[in-house]
Amino acid sequence: MASVTLESVSKSFRTKRDEVRAVCGLNLHVADREFVVLVGPSGCGKTTTLRLIAGLDELDAGTIRIGDRVVNRVEPKDRDVAMVFQSYALYPHMTVHKNLAFGLKMRRVPRADIQQRVAAVAQRLDIEALLDRKPAALSGGEQQRVALGRAIVRTPNVFLLDEPLSNLDARLRLQMRMELKTLHRDLNATIIHVTHDQEEAMTLGNRIVVLKGGTVQQCGPPLDVYDAPANRFVAGFLGTPPMNFVDGKIMHDGTAATFASPLGQLPLPAPPRPEGGFRDGQSVVLGVRPEHVRLMPPATGHAPSATPDALPLAEQPWVGIGVMRVLFVEPLGHSKNVHVVTGSGERLTACATAGTAVRPEDTVTVSIDTAHCHVFEPGENGRRLG
């Protein structure tokens, strides 16, 4: 296998009216045998980045290395990468066996070796019974396995996966995620996987790379990015349901800072670095994930939506922010999303346990875990402070 390095890579596409910048000065290093997931909204440059690595698109500027070799001017067939497309791109007139063997035949691999490698891959992916069928006779999950098999049988240096699970139903997506993790472990492969599905990104990658507008917003282990988003875009993109955001201002008395907003005043933890300090009167955006919002019946003060914690409620950093009205409830089986609103129109979403007895138009007391709040500069890409 091999590493992949992109240095100041840029790519634009010209239309009749203007020029669209798909990738803008992108820098990324994928280590040998690493599983990296590129994630972001549609049009952020994920697929273009993959196509540039594969050589299917020609870059405008920058350098791409596979291992120690610069591949800017190397033909796609000579880069020793295998790409799996969202549409599977199987040859419809060929059987599964011929689809798997086609790339090896083009490389003039001996027939005996082809037979051995196709049989081994078919057994690994449990598609032995499909070898004589054509793609039209296969289900979506079966076609996906064949597309993966066609890549695996070549034993390339790098696997490039372009949203390969997006056409599958929820059950098959879960199954194929587990198979991809197993394949990565068994093959010790270098894999770059593109998806817009944040859950897929969080569960698959050793690292995730969050893209927006052709630039890297943040890169790191999935939980690190989730727990410490670099900016408001990353915070809002990762997480289902998305993070709650509330506009407000900092009130600083010289020793402690509070966040003042229509929700009231919330104490803020001291930033760990002096340069991350808060200024009095500074406009900011407070972010809190739905799992850090609790709902309590006003009469009892009991927190029915809380999952069991190691500390008693009184010793946890939860701060009540007042009574809100339940707008609607989304039951998910194992949990439910509860959307609440204040009298002034501020909305929050809370993740509650499945047994939480709340209905639309109920009133609940809402508390926030201030230890897990984030403070961002204003704006869609406002950086995280502190």
Provide the residue range defining the domain that includes 292: 244-385
- Smallest CA-to-CA distance from 90 within 151, 160, 172, 176 is with 151
CB within 8 Å of 379: residues ≥ 6 apart: 232
So what's the pLDDT on residue 164?
Answer: 86
Q: Which of 108-112, 254-258, 309-313 has the lowest mean pLDDT?
A: 309-313
Position 147 pLDDT exceeds 80: yes
Residue 162 parent element (H or E): strand 158-162
So what's the pLDDT on residue 203?
Answer: 93
CA–CA separation, 169 and 225 (whole Å): 27
CB within 8 Å of 167: residues ≥ 6 apart: 86, 87, 88, 140, 144
89 with 209, same domain: the answer is: yes
187 with 101, same domain: the answer is: yes
Of 237, 263, 289, the domain-final residue: 237
Contact criterion met (CB below 8 Å) for 258 and 266: yes
CA–CA separation, 333 and 338 (whole Å): 13
How far, rounded to the nearest angstrom, does the alpha carbon of residue 205 sit from its chain's CA centroid?
A: 9
Of 237, 263, 278, the domain-final residue: 237
Each residue's pLDDT tens digit, 88-114: 888 999 999 999 999 898 888 999 999
**Among all chains, which residue has been given the structure tokens 């296969």?**
138
Each residue's pLDDT tens digit, 168-201: 788 888 888 888 898 898 888 899 999 988 889 9
So what's the pLDDT on residue 302?
Answer: 45
So what's the pLDDT on residue 310?
Answer: 38
So what's the pLDDT on residue 183?
Answer: 86
Q: Considering its fold, how many domains does the chain have in total?
A: 2
Position 255 pLDDT exceeds 80: no
- Smallest CA-to-CA distance from 350 within 371, 325, 374 is with 325
211 with 259, same domain: the answer is: no
% of the chain residues with pLDDT over 90:
59
- Smallest CA-to-CA distance from 286 within 307, 265, 303, 306 is with 265
Of 237, 256, 282, the domain-final residue: 237
Q: At 129, is the secondary structure helix, strand, or coil? A: helix
79 with 156, same domain: the answer is: yes
- Smallest CA-to-CA distance from 147 within 361, 159, 299 is with 159
> Average pLDDT of 356-360?
89
Q: Which of 107-121, 164-178, 301-315 has the lowest mean pLDDT?
A: 301-315
So what's the pLDDT on residue 316?
Answer: 52
Whichever domain contains 355, its CATH number is 2.40.50.140
87 with 131, same domain: the answer is: yes
Q: Which of 182-186, 249-253, 276-280 has the lowest mean pLDDT?
A: 276-280
pLDDT confidence band for 299 (50 / 70 / 90): low
